[in-house]
Amino acid sequence: MKISKSTITSAIKPAKTKGTTFYKATVDDIIKAYSDKNTNVWIKALFEDIGFDAIDFEKGLYGSKVIDDALYICETDGHMVDVDNYKYDPEEMLEDISLTDIEDMIQDATPEIIRRHITEYEVYMPDFDKLAIDLLKDGESFSELVRYYQEFEK
């Protein structure tokens, strides 16, 4: 068997600004990202059920915020950000500044970025009994439900 390097380039492009990027994702974007095979069906079901209320902002996604039906996921190196000669803490920027002032720092979130930032840790514990019925009706196997349930136990 011959092993060779892949020439596939990544679809993730860096933001125009170094240091901090806000990735914009809608509930539908999150559901689509978790509709792929080998992704946690409980997270998909949770967002289908309660939308952005599924996110536990106290456990993670620091600096991220829901604004006008979109989640802005903060990815930062932690350095202060200069906007119009004012310095902002990237984890508090969305509280203090308009989205139009930082539009060059905003990009659409890809499924990979969504799955990297929204995991079992960043969401509230699903109501497994309630959601399991719909997932089984949608064709998910019981063994898959158990396997992905165990991700919440870690």
- Give, for all 154 residues of the chain, the pLDDT tens digit: 444 444 444 444 444 446 899 999 999 999 999 998 889 999 999 999 999 999 999 998 999 999 999 999 999 998 999 998 999 999 999 999 999 999 999 999 999 999 999 999 999 998 999 999 989 998 888 988 998 888 887 7
| pLDDT, position 15 | 47
Q: Is residue 45 part of a domain?
A: yes
| pLDDT, position 18 | 61
| pLDDT, position 8 | 42
| pLDDT, position 16 | 47
Q: Is residue 4 part of a domain?
A: no
Q: Is residue 81 part of a domain?
A: yes
Q: Is residue 10 part of a domain?
A: no
Q: Is residue 27 part of a domain?
A: yes
| pLDDT, position 153 | 78
Q: How many CB atoms lie within 10 A of CB 60?
A: 14
In Å, what is the CA distance from 137 to each residue of 32, 63, 109, 154?
19, 37, 30, 27
What's the domain count of the chain?
A: 1
Closest CA to 54 of 136, 135, 142, 114: 114
Is the full-model pTM beyond 0.75? yes
Q: Is residue 7 part of a domain?
A: no
Q: Is residue 37 part of a domain?
A: yes
Q: Is residue 82 part of a domain?
A: yes
Element (H, E) at 65: strand 65-67
| pLDDT, position 6 | 40
